[in-house]
Amino acid sequence: MATAGFSVFIAADIEGTTGYVNWPGQPPEDSRSKEQLTAEVNAAIEGAQEGGAQEIIVSDIHWTKQNISAGELSGRASLIRGTKRKLMWMDFVERCNLVLLIGFHAGFGLAEAVLPHTMDPRIVKLKINGYDANEALISALTAGCFGVPVGMASGDRAFINEVQRFLPLIETVTVKEARGNFAALNLHPERSTGKIKYAAKTAVEKGIKGAFKPLRFNEPVEMNLELVWPGYADALSLVPGVERRAGREISFTGSWLDALEIISLFVNWIRVVPGIFDKFK
């Protein structure tokens, strides 16, 4: 539960921000991308506070999760930074009343989407109760376990179309439209931040009035996970309750939070097999 007044949790990724169309290698590309991420997060913070939020927690969720500097955040917002978290990027959401998703992207395999993937390139397929799971669905289900709804999301058009299928009532901002997976028509950054600020303000105003409901699947949930290498399935099959379905596939039936911990175990603590991605070069 929130500790003081109406609290907002902002999960901030980078692939769905304005201008970001490929994973860059070296600065200055990295620094410019992080500046735009911070600008879009700050727009969401400022809008949320104008809408009535009194406390803001920002979760940096991209890659090593060290893309945002705490001192650059508006409104004295708190920042969760660093990787290997139990709930992936949703730890501390239980202290909040509403979730905003900033800079998100579509899930793996989607055409006409900017950099579509789900958490880790070693994951080929992730289904939850038969639904293809993207990072927004994972965020919403995890927040829903603590009674916290999602109120707003920003990203590319393919992501927005995807998220509206299971969160049709939330506020959305489309900052770019893909042409293939590595190119997009982008809004001017000032237009993006303006739209994000307005959408965050509107979402918080609606959230205070109880307009959004937490997303929950009836439990037990069924999770099916397909990986790029059989050895990964070997490792996960050692976890109690995990069933080996095929050479590279495992399944688990139980609570969503238990399923999420299995995903976290794989993404955060099972190392990449050397040379596993050579064939993709």
Pair (58, 104) in one structural domain:
yes
**1 in any annotated domain:** no
Q: Indicate if the pLDDT at residue 279 is higher than 80.
A: no
Is 215 part of any domain? no
Q: Per residue in 245-268, pLDDT tens? A: 999 999 999 999 999 999 999 999
Domain that includes residue 188, residue range: 7-208
In whole numbers, what is the pLDDT of the chain averaged over residues? 93
183 and 228 co-located in one domain: no
Select from 178, 208, 238 the last residue of a domain.
Answer: 208
Residues 105 and 228 in one domain: no
- State whether 159 and 235 are in the same domain: no
| pLDDT tens column, 163-172 | 999 999 999 9
* pLDDT-derived band at 30, boundaries 50, 70, 90: confident
66/191 same-domain check? yes
Of all residues in the chain, what percent carry a pLDDT higher than 70? Answer: 94
pTM of the model: 0.94
Q: Which of 23-27, 75-79, 99-103, 132-136 has the lowest mean pLDDT?
A: 23-27
Does residue 269 share a domain with residue 180?
A: no
Tell me: do 84 and 110 sit in the same domain. Answer: yes
Claim to verify: residue 93 and residue 32 sit in the same structural domain: yes
**CATH code where residue 198 lies:** 3.40.50.10780
Final residue in a domain of this structure, among 208, 242, 259: 208
- How many domains does one find in the chain? 2
Confidence of residue 28 (pLDDT cuts 50, 70, 90): low
The full DSSP string for the chain is --SSSSEEEEEE-STTSTT--S---STTHHHHHHHHHHHHHHHHHHHHHHHT--EEEEEE-STTT--S-GGG-GGG-EEE--S--TTTT-TTGGG-SEEEEEEE-PPTT-TT-SS---S-TTEEEEEETTEEP-HHHHHHHHHHHTT--EEEEEEEHHHHHHHTTT-TTSEEEEEEEESSSS-EEE--HHHHHHHHHHHHHHHHHHHHTT------PPSSEEEEEEESSHHHHHHHTTSTTEEEEETTEEEEEE-HHHHHHHHHHHHHHSPPPTTTTGGG-
Residue after which a domain boundary falls, among 208, 233, 257: 208
Same domain, 92 and 157: yes
Mean pLDDT (whole number) for 265-277? 81
- Residue 109 inside a domain? The answer is yes
Say which CATH number the domain at 244 has: 3.30.1360
Q: Look at residue 269 and tell me if it is in a domain.
A: yes
Q: Given this model, what pLDDT does residue 280 score?
A: 46
Domain for residue 95, yes or no?
A: yes
204 and 226 together in one domain: no
pLDDT of the residue at 23: 87
- The answer to whether residues 164 and 238 belong to one domain is no
Residue 213 falls inside a structural domain: no
In a domain, 2, yes or no: no
pLDDT digits (tens, 9 = 90+) for 175-212: 999 999 999 999 999 999 999 999 999 999 999 999 99
